[in-house]
Amino acid sequence: MTMNPEVDLLYILQSLGLTVLFVGLIGFERQRRNKIAGLTTHLLVAIGAAGITMVQQMMVYDAIAFIEANLENPEILEYADLTIERQRIVAQIISGIGFLGTGTILKTQGHISGLTTASTLWISAIIGIIFGYGLHTLGIAVSLTTLFVLTIIKNVIRHQVDEHH
């Protein structure tokens, strides 16, 4: 799917449904491990990211439609002061979630915890953005890779560390 899909009800339901399904699995994994940010937090971050990405898509389409409707009236376009930027809102999501993730990182008695949870909040926002753009195959691939890292890779590393002690 391209980054130019029509944002209609089906598109919205598919994007949000896939976001809830896949980020829900990530949030469930964090909640199952009793981490500071669990299922609900991960879902809210991802749904918000997907939603605002879709709003950005709609704004792009509105601007394009306005330009196309007024090609015969260049004076209107001159005063409309239109800028089409697909990346600005997404960039703000990515940096904003970084601040949220900072709140999950704790340092006590020289021990740092919460880095993985901060990372999963960040990747949940990224997954929401990807699904919000309608890039379903990429969103599924990133989600499954994230789950693989959180479950399989992390357990293999933990098992190897336990064997050495």
Structure tokens at 41: 């937090």
Classify strands 106-108 and 111-113 as parallel, antiparallel or unpaired: antiparallel
pLDDT by residue (tens digit) across 98-113?
888 888 888 888 888 8
Residue closest to 119 by CA, chosen among 153, 165, 85, 88: 153
How many Cβ atoms from other residues are within 10 Å of residue 93's Cβ? 22
Could you tell me the pTM of the whole model?
Answer: 0.85
Label residue 156 by pLDDT band (50, 70, 90): confident
Question: In this structure, is the dihedral angle defined by the CA atoms of residues 62, 67, 73 and 75, taken in order, positive or negative?
Answer: positive
Q: In the chain, where are the structural domains located? A: 9-164
- Identity of residue 136: H
Cα 62 to Cα 78: distance, rounded to the nearest angstrom: 17
How many Cβ atoms from other residues are within 10 Å of residue 57's Cβ? 22
